[in-house]
Amino acid sequence: MTKGTILFTCFRFGGYHGSVIHICEIAEYLFRQGYCIYVAVATCSEEIKRYAQQKGAAVLYWDELPTDVEYDLVWAYHFPILPCLIRRGLRFRKVIGGSLSSVMPLEKVSLQNCGKFLEAPLLFYDKLALVVANSGLCRESLIRCGVPADKIMVMNNLVPESFCRRQGRALASLRKIAVVSNHIPSELLEAADFLRQQMIQTDLYGEGHIYVPITPELLLQYDVVVTIGKTVQYALALGIPVYNYDRFGGAGYLTPENLDHEEFYIFSGKGTPVKKSGEDICREILSGYLAAYTDRDVLRREAHERYYLPGQVDRILEKVRNLPENPLTANDISDDYARLCLKIIYRKSGKRFLMKKIGSYMVDFCLKLLCYGS
């Protein structure tokens, strides 16, 4: 007997990137609590599908998702998926929206730029029970897009229990550094070379480098983690000093004094958008290590209090339980909106759908009609 059935939506399920890991972590927790978990996607890889299945989530293409099931909750990320599901006849009791980055109004989204702006809020946000933002910056962006402030809850990037049961090495000497990013800028690559010249092992993780899920066991090998975004919370929870820097720049070492400010900007580097040379980054990492090492216990306690996954997810579910069921129906989705969402899906993954219907013959020609036609 399950507690209920929960459906997540996510556009791309094809790599170990933020939205995939975020959904899989919540799914794993909810699965262990007794929920049945589905994820509806536009694109996915077999590797990531297997990864999600290990967490307890069944990943299906949006056009293959069972619609004869009534979902107790739909937790929707990436706006094109849900409108198409509802038009297919999706049955559900409540819907909440989610955004994992700062967003832009839908009227500024086009087929040409849609890949960068999948976090645009759903047009029918007034029909949603709740909209979950992952930072103060994201909340402000949603408000600018017209989402009422009282409908938004902030849930920062999460730290699963496995990251809270362990603690980093009790070493006051800097020997090993991990750089974790799917878009490592050139100055960080230069810094890595300078650090290696100082006989400090520096390993690179992310697309184009060592590409694996980030686990407690992996991070606990290192004395410093250079990163942005979700991995920041992981390292803080493990008591590992974090040097916050990536393609937007960054504040350098996180401290009790700058934590609130950088958290507001999702630890993206945008809060302190200062670009540095590789040599400067190397110098700061070396000279600031002892102070960062001293701060690690304070920051670890803060991370456990702020980002602990069970507490944050339970807080959202408790809020949703006390809200009325959604009045959202297919009639709330205009033909123009549904057409835009479908075209975006086809533009990014249309060959799979067309191959199912007509085989390889004239696929490219049909895609042009779907994606660029009137």
Predicted confidence (pLDDT) per residue in 19-53, tens digit = 899 999 999 999 999 999 999 999 899 999 999 99
- How far is the C-alpha of 109 from the C-alpha of 116, rounded, in Å? 9
Give the model's pLDDT for residue 351: 53
| Predicted local distance difference test score (pLDDT) of residue 107 | 41
Q: What is the percentage of the chain residues whose pLDDT exceeds 70?
A: 87
Helix (H) / strand (E) containing 347: helix 335-358
- What domains appear along the chain, each with residue ranges and CATH number? 4-158+314-372 (3.40.50), 162-307 (3.40.50.2000)
The separation between the first and the last C-alpha atoms of the chain, rounded to the nearest angstrom, is: 48
Give yes or no for a contact between 352 and 364, defined as CB atoms under 8 angstroms apart: no
With beta carbons less than 8 A apart as the criterion, state whether 121 and 146 touch. Answer: yes
Tell me, rounded to whole angstroms, the distance of Cα 67 from its chain centroid: 26
Q: Identify the pLDDT of residue 374.
A: 38
Helix (H, G, I), strand (E, B) or coil at 64: helix
**pLDDT value of residue 170:** 61
pLDDT at residue 343 in the model: 81
Q: Which pLDDT does position 362 carry in this prediction?
A: 43
Task: Specify the pLDDT at position 1.
Answer: 59
Low-confidence residues of the chain: pLDDT under 50? 105-111, 114-115, 357-374
The pLDDT score that the predictor gives to residue 364 is 47
CA-nearest of 230, 236, 222, 234 to 192 is 222
pLDDT value for 167: 80
